[in-house]
Each structure stands twice: as C-alpha cells, then as structure tokens.
Amino acid sequence: MNAEEIKQYWSDRAEKHPDTATTNDVFLRRIEQRALNGCIYRYVPRLVADIGCGDGRTTRKLAKAYPLTNFAGLDFSPSMIRQAQTMPDLSNLAFNLHDISQPLLQRYDLIYTTRCLINLSSWEDQQQAIRNIYDSLLDDGIYVMIENFIEGHDAINKQRELFGLKSLAVRPHNLYFHKHHVMDFASTLFSVIEDVNISSTYYLVTRVLYARMCANKGIEPDYLDEHHEIAADLPYAGEYGPTRMVIMRRR
C-alpha cells in the first residue's frame, strides 16, 4: 500500500470502529500504556508528544495520570483526530493533525510512537520520520520507540508452526522494522538506553497457547478472552512477539 492508501485505511477504520480504532487487541494497548507510564515516571518530562496518537485513548490516560506534564497528541488522520477530540477536555492535553513525514513545529522532552512508524511505506520514509523526531527533541530528550519488528514476528510464527498453527501475516498497511537497521541508524543520532521485547510473553500465551486451545475446540480466538487479560500482566520475557520498546536519548 502507498502512503495515501495507508492514510485512507486508518481514516476508514476510525469511522467504522471508533471503540477499537488503533487495534482490536486492547490488551496489547494496555501493555504499551504500562510501558509508557513507566517511562514518563522515570524521566519526568515537562513536554510530551504522542506521534500517531490515533483515537487518543492512550494519550488521554497518560495525561490524566500526569497532570503536571503537557501532552500533544498528533496524527496524520483527520478522522482519528476528530475521534480524539470528542472526549472530555484536559487542560494538559491537545490533539492536532500532523504527519510525521514533515518536521514538527515544537520541541519536546519526550516523544513516543506506538506502532505508528510501521505505517510508513518505505524504510527511507521511516528514517526521515526518526530524523524528524530527533530534530524535535530538546537536548538529552528521550524517544520511546514502541514499534513492530520482523525478528519477533518470525520467532512467534516458528512457535506457531511447531504447534500446528498458521503463520501470522504482516498486514499490507504495515512495514515492520529490521532490528539491525534501526540500531545502526539510531546509533548515529541517539544513545540507546533500553531495548526490550514487551510483547513476547503476551504473544506466547495468546498467539500460541490460547490459539492452540481454540484450534483444539474448533473456535475462533477472541481478543477479549481472559487469556489476553491475564497475559497482559505477565512480565516481559523472551523474543517471541513483534512489539518491542527501544528507549533512546538524543545526543
């Protein structure tokens, strides 16, 4: 899919699925929110930007938890921003339309993305987005990159194969990162502080164990099943899921 097709996909999704606009996997979103909460608690930023905020649910929860921090939710989809703006106002939160392929208009102490840059259509576009994030960070600013990587995706598929399950496909609007590409490129701009797969335990439970149980019973997996809810609270372990968190400090 090209850039315009991807943008249209997300605009359509915001209109058709307002309760799950960014993902059907609500408990994966809980994992991401918990990881971000830890970063904001750890680094105590004054200004935070959520790039690719979608419907703004995660942004809003973090803004409520940290009333002394100012949050900006930015997204390239007008429909997503409209969804975000329908929620009650918070004095420390604002949502605005912005495409990360373009430079940001303000600088921040901390910027994060959650499965946002995988919606860009080429590695060159992803590199430019990371440069734009770098340029928009204040000195020693933090970039929290929560994105999907092909290595963890392939690893979970190998486990699924061992249990007689079909491979999970990368969706056509996504371009997963290669870890060595990210690390080589990021090292020219940032110091990497932490790198952890935050989806591994969750994916082993939900995409292998629970998926195999469903196959045995002849039923379709349900994102709202209690296996997902319980697995979301387990500690991170292993390299078996696509979603990882890389924390970087601007040099």
Q: How far apart are CA 117 and CA 163, in angstroms?
A: 31
From first to last of the 251 residues of the chain, give the pLDDT tens digit. Answer: 888 888 788 777 777 776 665 678 999 999 999 999 999 999 999 999 999 999 999 999 999 999 999 999 999 999 999 999 988 889 999 999 999 999 999 999 999 999 999 999 999 999 999 999 999 999 999 999 999 999 999 999 999 999 999 999 999 999 999 999 999 999 999 999 999 999 999 999 999 999 999 999 999 999 999 999 999 999 999 999 999 999 999 99
| Any domain includes 176 | yes
Backbone angles phi, psi at 183, to 5 degrees: -65, -40
The verdict on residue 213 lying in a domain is no
Domain limits at 178? Answer: 3-150+171-202+236-250
In a domain? residue 105: yes
State the Cα–Cα distance between residues 66 and 199, nearest whole angstrom: 25
Token duo for residue 62: 């973090």
Q: Is the dihedral of CA 57, 58, 59, 63 positive or negative?
A: positive
* 243, β-bridge pairs: 148
Q: Is 211 inside any structural domain?
A: no
Specify the pLDDT at position 21.
55
What is the Cα Rg of the chain in Å?
A: 18
Q: Where are the alpha helices (DSSP H) in 17-115?
A: 26-43, 57-65, 78-85
Contact 152, 242 (CB under 8 A): yes
Strands (DSSP E) along 45-165, which ranges?
47-51, 70-75, 93-97, 108-114, 137-148
Establish if 210 belongs to a structural domain: no
Q: Does residue 180 fall inside a structural domain?
A: yes
The domain total for the chain is 1
Q: pLDDT value at position 1?
A: 80
Indicate whether 94 belongs to any domain: yes
DSSP-based three-state secondary structure for 87:
coil
Which conformational region is residue 236 in: left (phi greater than 0), alpha (psi within -120 to 50 degrees), or beta?
beta
Residue 115 — left, alpha, or beta (φ > 0 → left; ψ -120 to 50 → alpha)?
A: left
Rounded to whole angstroms, the Cα distance separating 176 from 189 reads 21
Assign residue 143 the CATH number of its domain. Answer: 3.40.50.150
Give pLDDT, residue 22.
65
Tell me how far apart the alpha carbons of residues 125 and 100 are, in angstroms, rounded to a whole number: 9
Is 28 within a domain? Answer: yes
Query: N- to C-terminal Cα distance for the chain?
Result: 34
